[in-house]
Amino acid sequence: MLENSKKKSIILGFVAFILLTVFDQLTKLWAVNTLKDKEALVIIEGVFKLRYLENNGAAFSLLEGQQMFFFIITVAMLILFAVIFYKIPMGDRYRYLRWICVFLEAGALGNLIDRMRLEYVVDFFYFELIDFPTFNVADIYITVSMFFFVVLILFYYKEDEFDFLKRKKIKA
């Protein structure tokens, strides 16, 4: 049976996951209704604008049109991060890892919903100053989460703090 703090963590994580995913989908719906077939909405002239883009690939439009590949990889990642979330020990030290999993899951699901429903991902944030590829809220979740994950791995956690990911040996 799960202890209370683990149950609360799972419930909180699930609620946050749903809310983050809904927020991503609402922003994309807003982009479709406001930006599609219209001129870009300039926020800061020459720096940042909102423009509608249908992305058939992954980051930077890589692997365009490979929807089945994205579906399989995304479902595998959703399962993997759900298992990791469940295995993460309770305690404040691991709180950051739990939140990283929640944001990664929400980002992955947000883009998966687009791919399944539309066969492309709706992107709309564009940094014109550096000609950065157009992206969306789900992409922000994934990118920022991975940045913090790398920082935590390099500067916060020690290797042995990830022993919870190792398979437990079954005694015969």
Which residues are designated catalytic?
Answer: 123, 139
Q: How far apart are CA 15 and CA 22, in angstroms?
A: 11
Q: How far apart are CA 104 and CA 139, in angstroms?
A: 9
Q: How far apart are CA 114 and CA 26, in angstroms?
A: 12
DSSP 1-15: ---HHHHHHHHHHHH
3-state secondary structure of 147: helix
CB count within 10 Å of CB 18 equals: 13
Closest CA relative to residue 53, chosen from 114, 103, 143: 114
Q: How far apart are CA 145 and CA 94, in angstroms?
A: 14
- Are the CB atoms for 104 and 145 separated by under 8 Å? yes
Closest CA relative to residue 126, chosen from 111, 139, 110, 141: 139
